Amino acid sequence: MNEEAGAEPAKVGGDRPEAAIVTIGDELLSGVRADTNGPWLARRLSELGFAVGSTVAVGDDPERIGGALRRAVADADVVVATGGLGPTDDDRTRDAVARVWDLGLREDPDLMAEIRARFRSRGYHDAPRASRRMAQVPEGARILPNPAGSAPGLRLDLPADPGGPGERILILLPGIPTEVRALMDGPVEVALRDSFETRLAPASIRTIHTTGIPESALAGRIEALLDDVRGVEVAYRPSTHGVTIRLLARGPGAGERLERAAKLVEPVLAPYQYEARDGDLAAAVGRALNAAGLRIGVAESCTGGLVLKRLTDIPGSSGWVVGGVVAYADRIKEGWLDVPASVLSSRGAVSEPVARAMAEGIRRRFGVELGIGVTGIAGPGGGVEDKPVGTVWFGIAGPRGTHAEKVWFQGGRSEVRERAAQHVLHLVLRSVEAPGRADRIRTSDSRGG
């Protein structure tokens, strides 16, 4: 929240319907696993236009679950709970709900048939006994089909206080994050919009993905610019891949205010910004390659397959990724990418000529328009004084020649690899979107991300 910009406080309540979140599972309390569902649901519900009052995590104890759900249902119009719907004995959410609201549990025949079919299709004779728990539903519950897994979601319309009139909606979801997201983006969103449409104050949101600039530098530059736009909140979400900025406004004129704010910050963000749903830079790269009719091949050393993995994460990537070589051993760089042995021994595998030769080698050998080479020291070992851990050389070979640059990345092995992959994707995007521009990037030491 950006106070200087006169941001509307994130006050709970107001006219907006209120939502509460309950996440269930001993693992959330033992600290074994961080709760990713809670924060994700909070953002999703807030974007839909709900005021999110609280999130609670409780263990698999039925009394705790029941108590948390009862309180949440008393406080909020909608309660979304995750976890405790699986097949095992520590999945106690159904029992807890049945007890608190005094509902029977019945086996849903359609659900049971579906579970059986699923197990049979995988070669089992029948569904294991334990899986039958998943077909048990509290009376009055409506089933929300799960597009991504076996345990369905459940919807119950309940009184604010047990025994009172029905006014609240309780949504029960399984605990696996991909399933929570699929259910929430599908049947749950439909149901909530249907019930609350007129009261929702959806936020107008502009999400801007950036890479290659730290959060503090970003905040310093854009907050001054937003001084004279009131009623627009700015939030920053930093990750290994970069910083995502969210501009948010609600109420009358929200769209206009947002537009003004976005225009103000645009010139500062342009060199770092990219357009991609879910913030995946690889998707933006794919769109750009597709539009330009270019195919890419990648030769990776320190990133060890991560760049190719990022590219092929994108559905339809076979249209623009031909493939690549992970040349982890030097003899593969030599024999498969034509990196001269003399250069490897005189300059070392992490060097400008090797990055160039890898990019040119894969371009020529795979017969693609764009060849990429990545060679660096991911750590934890292998660093030397003039090439510390985190040093990565990049090569990008195209029809107009080859560009190379060196970046030093901070962090451990996994951060260095993730940041290097993100950096090379950004490099490809810039060179495809503005050909020739990559060549203007300085070849000397560059900043890490």
Q: Is 171:154 a contact under the CB 8 Å cutoff?
A: yes
Pairing of strands 78-82, 166-173: parallel
The contacts of residue 57 (CB under 8 Å, 6+ apart) are 22, 23, 24, 25, 28, 29, 35, 38
What is the distance of C-alpha 115 from the center of its chain?
29
CB-nearer residue toward a second copy: 195 or 446: 446
Determine the Cα–Cα distance for residues 152 and 86; give it in Å rounded to an integer: 9
Which of residues 16, 17, 48, 52 is near a second copy by CB under 8 A? 52
Residue 352 structure tokens:
């400008």
Q: What is the dihedral of CA 16, 146, 39, 50, to 10 degrees?
A: 0
Q: What is the gyration radius of the CA atoms in the chain, in angstroms?
A: 26
CB-nearer residue toward a second copy: 215 or 439: 215
Determine the Cα–Cα distance for residues 415 and 319; give it in Å rounded to an integer: 29
Task: Name the minimum Å distance from CB 371 to a second copy.
Answer: 14
Choose one: 25-33, 95-103, 252-260, 269-277; the region binding a second copy (CB under 8 A): 25-33
Task: Name the minimum Å distance from CB 249 to a second copy.
Answer: 14
* Residue 36 contacts a second copy per CB under 8 A: yes
Instruction: With CB under 8 A as the rule, give the number of residues binding a second copy.
Output: 117
Q: By CB under 8 A, what part of segment 99-158 binds a second copy?
A: 121-124, 128-131, 134, 148-149
Q: What angle do CA 152, 158, 163 make, to 5 degrees?
A: 140
Q: By CB under 8 A, what part of segment 294-353 binds a second copy?
A: 298, 300, 303-309, 311-313, 315-318, 321-329, 331-332
* Residue 18 contacts a second copy per CB under 8 A: no
* Residue 443 contacts a second copy per CB under 8 A: no
CB-nearer residue toward a second copy: 148 or 441: 148
Task: Name the minimum Å distance from CB 18 to a second copy.
Answer: 11
Q: Is 259:249 a contact under the CB 8 Å cutoff?
A: no
Task: Name the minimum Å distance from CB 25 to a second copy.
Answer: 8
CB-nearer residue toward a second copy: 28 or 100: 28
* Residue 60 contacts a second copy per CB under 8 A: yes
